[in-house]
Chain A
């Protein structure tokens, strides 16, 4: 269809346009046979986020539109959705910048996951895989009175993995997950990486058995969708590559860890 609104206008002019057309995938399994796209017109300013737009639709136009939200500044991980074909957190995604030249933004639920309703997906398999890698630290039995001495370099190596907010953007962009939900998935492998690399952890061998096992790091096909999708700019692929290497020299790594733990309560040089 010829678009009169955007004809002859520069991208800047379109950006300043007062309304956006928000296309949302709707699906209520109780009522609908299959998902369909519904379009809403939403007013906007240069600062409007996609979440603001959804919130506007919900409060003013159609209260039955359902989506998850909470912190609205990209730290809780509730609102990961598929915007214009790529996964992102809608709360920190600017609306004017997400529009195509006809002023349309398309919002769908995270792909490859069962839809509960509209933009809400069922993350059960996601959390199961998370639990499967034993995300908790198993520290040495004889804890010191004060802290374990961990060097700033060791912290820097795992720091980025700790900032993962478990939003599921990587998981649901992963092609391997699309083919089978028994793959552990980038989020859990990143968590596993965090624990394996932590000098305080006493069971790196057991972890490598899981994350280096049949459903673990070796099933990654280095597609890089997880890096592209991550709203926090983390790098699960690199963590997976590291896990692969460590799993290949598991025994030696376990010995190194045991050696390191002997000095865990002493100050670094």
Chain B
């Protein structure tokens, strides 16, 4: 799949996830603390949604960054390196984020 399509489809996914995220997280009251987050992140459904959200946002961010860079002629020559870097960074962030979400359990 082309970078452009990856970005477009992840954008559509983000419209969905981001709306949920904004409503759930930032709808009043605005104060965020450990307990509130704790409560939500314990729920397996939320874990799934968060992982998907994380995936969409990473794809969108990294493809976007890639396109920002490769639109400039100078960077176009090192396209492969940039793409590789984006994939590595993406995999690492995905791993880190997923672990955060999955491994999390309320401290006893």
Are A182 and B76 CB-contacts (below 8 A) given A176-B71, A219-B71? yes
Interface flags for B8-44 (1: CB within 8 Å of A; 0: not) read: 0000000000000000000000000000000000000
B contact patch SS: helix
Point out the residue from B3, B4, B73 that lies within 8 Å of A181, measured CB to CB.
Answer: B73
Compute how far the CA of A69 lies from the CA of B67 in the bound complex, rounded to whole angstroms.
38
Chain B residues lying within 8 Å of A244, measured Cβ to Cβ, are: 4
- A248:B71 contact, CB within 8 angstroms: no
What separation, in Å, do the CA atoms of A158 and B88 have in the docked complex? 44
Question: Please, how many angstroms separate the alpha-carbon atoms of A42 and B17 in the complex?
Answer: 61
Residue B108 is within 8 A (CB to CB) of chain A in the complex: no
CA distance A181 to B72 in the complex (A): 9
**Distance A181 CA – B71 CA, assembled complex (angstroms):** 9
A253 CB–B CB distance under 8 Å = no
Q: Once the chains are docked, how many angstroms separate the CA of A219 from the CA of B5?
A: 11
Least Cβ–Cβ distance between B1 and chain A, in angstroms: 10
Scan A156-196; emit 1 where CB is below 8 A from any B CB, else 0: 00000000000000000000100111110000000000000
CB distance from A178 to the nearest CB of B (A): 10
Cα(A248)–Cα(B6), bound, Å: 12
Interfacial chain B residues near A181, Cβ < 8 Å? 73
A218 engages B3 (CB within 8 Å): yes
Residue of A nearest to B79 (CB): A214
**Would you give the 0/1 interface string for B54-91, flagging 1 where the beta carbon is closer than 8 Å to chain A?**
00000000000001000111101000000000000000
Q: Interface size bucket, B side?
A: 10 to 19
Partner pick for B73 among A182, A218, A248, CB 8 A cutoff: A182
> In the docked arrangement, what's the CA distance between A103 and B55, Å?
57
Once the chains bind, are A218 and B2 in contact (CB under 8 Å)?
yes
CA distance A248 to B74 in the complex (A): 28
Chain B residues with CB under 8 Å of A182's CB are: 73, 76
Question: Which residues of the other chain, A, contact B71 by a CB distance below 8 angstroms?
Answer: 176, 179-180, 183, 219
Q: How far is the CA of A181 from the CA of B4 in the complex (A)?
A: 19
Contacts of B74 in A (CB 8 A): 180
Tell whether, in the assembled complex, residue B72 and residue A218 are in contact, meaning their CB atoms are under 8 Å apart: no
Whose C-beta in chain A lies nearest to the C-beta of B3?
A218
Q: For A212, give the chain B residue with the smallest CB separation.
A: B2
With a CB–CB cut-off of 8 A, which chain B residues contact A179?
71-73
Report the Cα distance A179→B71, complex, angstroms.
6
21 contacts between A and B (CB under 8 A): A176-B71, A179-B71, A179-B72, A179-B73, A180-B71, A180-B72, A180-B73, A180-B74, A180-B76, A181-B73, A182-B73, A182-B76, A183-B71, A218-B2, A218-B3, A218-B4, A219-B4, A219-B67, A219-B71, A244-B4, A248-B5
Interface residues of A (CB under 8 A from B): 176, 179-183, 218-219, 244, 248
Besides A218-B2, A218-B4, 15 other A-B contacts (C-beta < 8 A)? A176-B71, A179-B72, A179-B73, A180-B71, A180-B73, A180-B74, A180-B76, A181-B73, A182-B73, A182-B76, A183-B71, A219-B4, A219-B71, A244-B4, A248-B5
**Closest 3 pairs between A and B when the two form their complex, measured CB to CB:** A180-B73, A218-B4, A179-B71
